[in-house]
Amino acid sequence: MQHNVNWLQALLVLSLSVTLGWTVEVQRPRGVPLTKRQFYDEAKPFTCLDGSRTIPFDRVNDDYCDCKDGSDEPGTAACPNGSFHCTNAGYRPTFIPSSRINDGICDCCDGTDEYNSGASCQNTCKELGRKEREALQKLAEITKEGFLLKQQLIEEAKKGQQEKQSRLSELQDSRKGHEDKVEALRTVKETAEQPEKEAKERHLKAWEEHKAALRLEKEKAKMAEVFLELDDNADGFVDVSELQTHQELDPDGDGTLTDTEAQGLLGGAHKVDSTEFMNMWSNMKEKYVSEVCPPTPSSYDSSHDEQKDSTSDKDQERDLDKDPDSVYPEDDLDEDAAGEDDEDDDDDDDHQVSLLFCIATPFIQPHHIFLSQQYICVCVYQRQYKIFMYTLSTVSSVCERERWCLLCNAALLPFSFRALEKEISFDFGPSSEFAYLYSQCYELTTNEYIYRLCPFNRVSQKPKYGGSETSLGSWGSWSGPEDNKYSVMKYEHGMGCWQGPNRSTTVKLTCGKETAVVSTSEPSRCEYLMEFTTPAVCLEPPNIDTQVHDEF
Amino acid sequence: MSCLLAVWLAVVLSGIQAVDRSNFKTCIQSSFCKRMRDVVPGHSPYRALLETLELSNTRLTLQLINDNNKVRLLLELYRLQGNMTRLKINELKPLRPRFEVPDVLIADPPTEPLSLVSQDEGGVVLSLGADARHLVVSARPFRLDIVEGPHVLLSVNSRGLLAFEHQRPRKDTSSENDSEEVEAEEDAEDQNYEKEEDQADMWEETFKSHTDSKPNGPTAISMDFSLPGVEHVYGIPEHAENLRLKTTDGHDPYRLYNLDVFQYELYNPMALYGSVPVLLSHSTQRTMGIFWLNAAETWVDISSKAAENTDSVQAPSKVAQTDVRWISESGIIDVFIMLGPKPTDVFAQYASLTGTQSFPPLFALGYHQCRWNYKDQEDVRSVDQGFDDHDIPYDFIWLDIEHADGKRYFTWDPAHFSQPREMLQGLVDKRRKMVAIVDPHIKVDSGYRVHKEIRSKNLYVKNKDGGDYEGWCWPGTSGYPDFTNPEMRSWWASMFAYDQYEGSMENLYIWNDMNEPSVFNGPEVTMHKDALHGSWEHRDIHNLYGLYVQMATADGLIQRSGGVERPFVLARAFFAGSQRYGAVWTGDNAAEWSHLKISIPMCLSLGLVGISFCGADVGGFFKSPSSELLVRWYQTGAYQPFFRAHAHLDTPRREPWLFGPENTALIREAVRQRYALLPYWYLLFYKAHGTGQPVMRPLWVEYPEDVTTFTIDDEYLLGRDLLVHPVTDEGSKEVTVYLPGTGGVWYDAFTFQRHEGGQNLYVPVTMSSIPVFQRGGSIIPRKNRIRRSSSCMEKDPYTLYVALSPQGTAEGELYIDDGHTFNYEQKKQFVHRRFIFADSTLSSSNISPDSQFSTASWVERVLILGAHKPSSVTLKTSGGSVASLEFDFDEATSVLTVHKPGVNAGADWTLLFQW
């Protein structure tokens, strides 16, 4: 009968394998791996490998499935769940599903799966083995070099991490100091400026009517500030010695403000609180000169400790008190920007901000009639590659500029702090080997587009010949499989697709000497796939030689 | 795909559907429909002029006169072989010839003699042969009745709705005196005539921004048919509708006008992509069919009532009656009345007129993987590999419009499909195939060969002014080849030759989409009715266009192989006769449970009118299915004739392995069940091709006297022997399956549990359940070695599933051929076996002794369901050898498994059971 494969012949096949130049012959039923050879003893009845049944041995590979686990038909397609072992001498041995035996398609490189289908299969194992060895060798080289690079990266990351930590604690300290001072200023000012705020909301005419009252309030505020300025030790009292720092108050004009004179100015008391000070103020205000401008600090930190309280225009303080968003109306130091909705922010938010310079220039504000000469103060910052400025109006004297720059810088602290904190909090891999990718961007140009990957930040796509950039996603998470989490990055919530999902990008990391985007594709609508090489994923090369393992 | 320009919105308000049909006409917006529908039942103005009666051996002619306008019509009556009557009505003296649909009937239907039984001044009675069947022609008013004994089977014009808009000169432009015209003579006498002329929209009508110039004026026709005793009518696809048609009183008639409908709505009478003007009636007494052969826009009204029973001499009683009215915009009245009486008779009758389902290559019955669009060759390769990696069989991967260079069909995108032969060879190596789309709109581009040649041969459809008709479609401005022209079809067919269609190979097959035709900027997203196909208006041929496209493509595929290979062509638009050219699908559905559910009645309705090779996009075209819906759709699709997954460009990818291992396993199992049953599917298609019996059948077709089955459309039969009740509800925990056939039994196709027929069976379901039952008394062959593709399974052995009837008998068939050529037909190279189990003997015998084919397949195993334990099983082969076979018996399920008879599937053999 036609179907009857000469199974007796098929039962015992000669397996030839060549390794290290010697040849062996091992007899076993077709499709059985060497490791299971002992279960197929032609002299004995065959017991299904799951133990479910025992059958005469001539029913092994007889093209009828007897065992539930398919073990009686390792060399035929009779069992739905069986598998066939390809020896593939010269290449890797493998198992294929039984359904691929004699289906007319060559699956094993040694062609042993097609013994009765009419398909003529070439033995391609040697060629495949050679190619694979070459590829493996190449890969091994890359891995080796890549792994060395990785070690360096880890070292650098360690150093960087330490630097960042210490900078963070510095920042934490200065931030604390800054916050205290701003808090103090705020308390004073809040009491002072409330009436003005309310009044300003009214019509200009009404504003005029209240002008006098406001002047008084202004005076009060001024007084409050002076108090604060005088209260050098911030104990809530202005005492004689503190007053003596202002020699201009000397009532008798001899150039020295003696203890007695000072005590006299304080109404005979050795020290006064702010309420009492209010009564004394009228005696002093004509003469009082605000404390001199401190020397321009090169950075906030270096000057912070010497910083003395001084009088200041309340407009300045008000601006300082605002939340950072409104302090920097033109820039993107957005508290919430970190990788969330506003795409343009992302690039810069993670970078520290530094103050380049401050200038002050005369400025007349026509409507603020009660303020005389004004200066416009411009603070210029740099953040990564971006220069931006914050314009501050109504500074009342050039000397205040100095102080302003100081305060501007102080106001920047939270951003530097947050950026640093964020950077430190990132999961840069088990040994921070991915830290070097932070703040970097890598591009790949295809026929139509320029793709840009900024690791831990965002992925974007821009038409090569003009057109706007499209976000393909912002940093989401590491999302490799459990055992290899750091092999895949996921960027999510990119620009929405018409009638579709928001764009997202999966970045697959492979070991390479270079750090580069090597390919991009869009396997599904609006779901992008990027291949990225980096030494950071290179595994330690095994010590033993990577040789293709031949079966015996 | 669908025309994205068309927008279709629906609002459901307190149970009433308020539909914004902004892009598609209602009856009222289609002037002829409105005019015809305004004719109300009553006394017909038509009278038969008996003195004009002429009776030849094969036909009767008789003039009819409209007493209102004195216009005369010519009636022709034929008695056709196979219990059919044909009735034709045309103008006696038309100003111009009226269109008569060509190329749909496979031949001039053979006639049988009509003989006069009696005649008086009231009319004539003609004999329709046996069973005291008569055709009664009443003269005043004109009316036809087909009677059998005392029973009226069907009446024509009994409600007086015959209307025939005769052609006439246009009053405002014509000054000639056509004195020879009948109506001109009577003009002065008849006031109604004047009134008729005054009706609006007769010579021009505007819908939205489109004006239809109607140079021939009004040409509509209408006719009513009454079906006493009938409560259930079916057919007239394509509509997104239940199997049983609803009455149309109070709302729009069912419309037949091939249209590209964007995101179609369910359960309404709107026209869809295809039209088959065939209506079936069924009662416990009789099944009949009405085939209205007209390719113009058509509307069908259905109403029902309880009528006086005038059949018998006994006291009158009320009986149900269904009335049907057909309305078409042009052409003639040409009706075939198929008198059954059994469902199988109606299928055979209709098949004798329009042909049967083409016999597809076996692999076309496998699973098809499609998506708009596989992006490039690498994508194709990796999807192909994905099927192997996940051990899911498939036969075809499809390329949608993006594969071509700028939607210039017959070309390949140079960036993404630069090496089509390499790609196709990769599939050949896996014994798989590909389908590429070739749509019938041709990019107007002087650098595009297809366009240049069609233009230079002057084979494009013309606009009303005689220039090439142009419309927008996928490629932008496009021309539309005039497929009604045989020269065009033959040129088109020649384009599929391997040296013409560059990059094509033997394993490349074709998909014709958009063949309604779809014209994005045309009225109702289709062609202007005043466009010209030679001397005929598009109005006359519209519903036929799609058929011609598929016909020409299928011819091309046959020709490229030298007439050897069977073609496979999928089309979206179709007409009566399209079954001869390939497969159809239900168009651009959506990933919704309701769309899954309606795929059943939609394909059942098509099967009833000859088109068996039907399927719906698995997963739903628009939107994105949940994994549950996708799995259920695979499970359903695996048991529908055309099994293809498809998805819109904008949807996320949904290859079967993208929904987690559990769902991958569920989908794999559904597809594997399909492949195991391919021998049965192939047999069903072979029989459909031979006899016209549908592959997928409503229950009533096999249980015509069981009224319970008449409205069932959530389950169906495949052939006679498999009953399928797919799970089509989200979160289902159970389904209620109606098992027909009191006294019979059914076996669960997987657990082999036995159930009594004639009951509602409560079946608990899990995600892996596909409720399928095998009829007791049947034998079904399966191939249980599931491989990568159907071609890989060619030589595999069969397992026979013998499901015993309560009487302990069973019967089944097996058909085998080479799977892809016409040799089965031309050289009788096939195996067709009959298996009979009776008297403790299972035997295989040859049904077709004059056939010859040698198959490598053999019989691996025999399962007897509902058996008891035998003492021995003996195999006797034709050579006289006798062998005892091993067997297992499972007490719990009463399944007897006979091991390895090992006989060739084409051989005679007998299994003897000793109990």
Structure tokens at A468: 């706007």
Structure tokens at A3: 């179907």
Q: How far is A177 from chain B (nearest CA, A)?
A: 54
B785:A498 CB<8 A:
no
> Which has more confidence, A521 or B638?
B638
Q: Which of A349-353, A465-469, B444-448 has the highest mean pLDDT?
A: B444-448
Q: How far is A501 from chain B (nearest CA, A)?
A: 8
Q: Does the pLDDT value for residue B396 go beyond 50?
A: yes
Q: What is the pLDDT of residue B476?
A: 96
Give tens-digit pLDDT for A156-170. 988 888 888 887 787
Percent of residues, chain B, with pLDDT higher than 90: 90
> Which has more confidence, B488 or A423?
B488
- Per-residue pLDDT band for B317 (boundaries 50, 70, 90) equals low
B45-66 burial, b for 16+ CB within 10 Å, e for fewer?
Answer: bbbbbbeebebeeebbebbbbb
Average pLDDT over residues A486-490: 95
Q: What is the pLDDT of residue A2?
A: 42
Give tens-digit pLDDT for B844-858. 999 999 999 999 999
Searching chain A, which residue's CA lies closest to the CA of residue B380?
A523
Q: Among candidates B305, B333, B233, which has minimal Cα distance to B41?
A: B305
Q: What is the pLDDT of residue B170?
A: 85
Searching chain A, which residue's CA lies closest to the CA of residue B855?
A2
Percent of residues, chain B, with pLDDT higher than 70: 93
Q: Which of A169-183, A262-276, B2-16 has the highest mean pLDDT?
A: A262-276
Given CB atoms, is A99 within the 8 Å cutoff of chain B? yes
Interface test with A, best of B900, B904, B908, B909 (most A CBs within 10 A): B900
> Which has more confidence, A301 or B822?
B822
Instruction: Please report residues of B whose CB lies closer than 8 A to that of A117.
Output: 795
A525:B649 CB<8 A:
yes
Searching chain A, which residue's CA lies closest to the CA of residue B784?
A80
Given CB atoms, is A481 within the 8 Å cutoff of chain B? no
B214-245 burial, b for 16+ CB within 10 Å, e for fewer?
Answer: bebbbbbbbbbbbbbbbbbbbbbbbbbbbbbb
Q: What is the pLDDT of residue B556?
A: 98
Q: Does the pLDDT value for residue B695 go beyond 90?
A: yes
Instruction: Please report residues of A whose CB lies closer than 8 A to that of B390.
Output: none
Q: How far is A77 from chain B (nearest CA, A)?
A: 7
Cβ A487 vs Cβ A479: under 8 Å: no
Q: What is the pLDDT of residue A340?
A: 35
A523:B900 CB<8 A:
no
Instruction: Please report residues of B whose CB lies closer than 8 A to that of A497.
Output: 650
Judge whether B400 counts as a catalytic residue: no
Q: What is the pLDDT of residue A22?
A: 42
Q: How far is B430 from chain A (nearest CA, A)?
A: 6
Instruction: Please report residues of B whose CB lies closer than 8 A to that of A100.
Output: 787-788
User: Residue A104 is nearest to which of B415, B431, B649, comparing CB atoms?
Assistant: B431
pTM: 0.80
Ranges of beta strands (E only) in B263-351 are 278-282, 287-292, 298-308, 318-328, 333-338
**3-class secondary structure, A123:** coil
Average pLDDT over residues B258-270: 95
Given CB atoms, is A497 within the 8 Å cutoff of chain B? yes
Catalytic one of B260, B384, B588, B706: B588
Ramachandran sector of residue B572 (left: φ over 0; alpha: ψ -120 to 50; beta: rest): alpha
- Per-residue pLDDT band for A284 (boundaries 50, 70, 90) equals confident
Interface test with A, best of B657, B795, B854 (most A CBs within 10 A): B795
Distance CA A426, CA A456 (A): 8
Interface test with A, best of B787, B877, B899, B903 (most A CBs within 10 A): B787
Distance CA B620, CA B371 (A): 11
Catalytic one of B224, B345, B413, B513: B513
How far is the first Cα of chain A from the last one, in angstroms, to the nearest whole number? 38
Given CB atoms, is A120 within the 8 Å cutoff of chain B? no
Q: How far is B588 from chain A (nearest CA, A)?
A: 16
B856:A447 CB<8 A:
no
Average pLDDT over residues B290-308: 93
Searching chain B, which residue's CA lies closest to the CA of residue A99?
B787
B860:A499 CB<8 A:
no
Q: What is the pLDDT of residue B845?
A: 97
Q: Does the pLDDT value for residue B494 go beyond 90?
A: yes
Contacts of A432 (CB under 8 A, 6+ apart): A154, A157, A158, A160, A161
Given CB atoms, is B785 within the 8 Å cutoff of chain A? yes
Average pLDDT over residues B489-502: 98
- Per-residue pLDDT band for A9 (boundaries 50, 70, 90) equals very low
The average confidence (pLDDT) of chain B is 93
- Per-residue pLDDT band for A461 (boundaries 50, 70, 90) equals very high
Given CB atoms, is A357 within the 8 Å cutoff of chain B? no
Over B611-647, what HEC string results?
CCCEECCECCCECCCCHHHHHHHHHHHCCCCCEEECC
Helix H or strand E encompassing A206: helix A204-209
User: Residue A64 is nearest to which of B857, B860, B903, comparing CB atoms?
Assistant: B860
Cβ B865 vs Cβ B836: under 8 Å: no
User: Residue A525 is nearest to which of B650, B786, B791, comparing CB atoms?
Assistant: B650
A525:B653 CB<8 A:
yes
> Which has more confidence, B848 or A278?
B848
Given CB atoms, is B455 within the 8 Å cutoff of chain A? no
Could you say which DSSP state residue B408 is in? B
Q: What is the pLDDT of residue A220?
A: 72
Q: Among candidates B772, B661, B771, which has minimal Cα distance to B719?
A: B772
Judge whether B513 counts as a catalytic residue: yes
Average pLDDT over residues A159-186: 73
Q: What is the pLDDT of residue B440?
A: 98
Cβ B252 vs Cβ B269: under 8 Å: yes
A97:B415 CB<8 A:
no
Average pLDDT over residues B650-654: 90
Q: Does the pLDDT value for residue A179 go beyond 70?
A: no
Q: Among candidates B11, B27, B28, which has minimal Cα distance to B270?
A: B27
Searching chain A, which residue's CA lies closest to the CA of residue B859?
A3
Q: Does the pLDDT value for residue A401 go beyond 80?
A: no
Instruction: Please report residues of A whose CB lies closer than 8 A to that of B857.
Output: 3
Q: What is the pLDDT of residue A84?
A: 97
Average pLDDT over residues A42-56: 95
**Identity of residue B351:** A
Q: Does the pLDDT value for residue A366 go beyond 90?
A: no
Q: What is the pLDDT of residue B126?
A: 94
Q: Does the pLDDT value for residue B875 go beyond 50?
A: yes
Contacts of B815 (CB under 8 A, 6+ apart): B679, B682, B683, B686, B687, B830, B831, B832, B833
| B199 alpha-carbon distance from chain centroid | 37
The average confidence (pLDDT) of chain A is 73
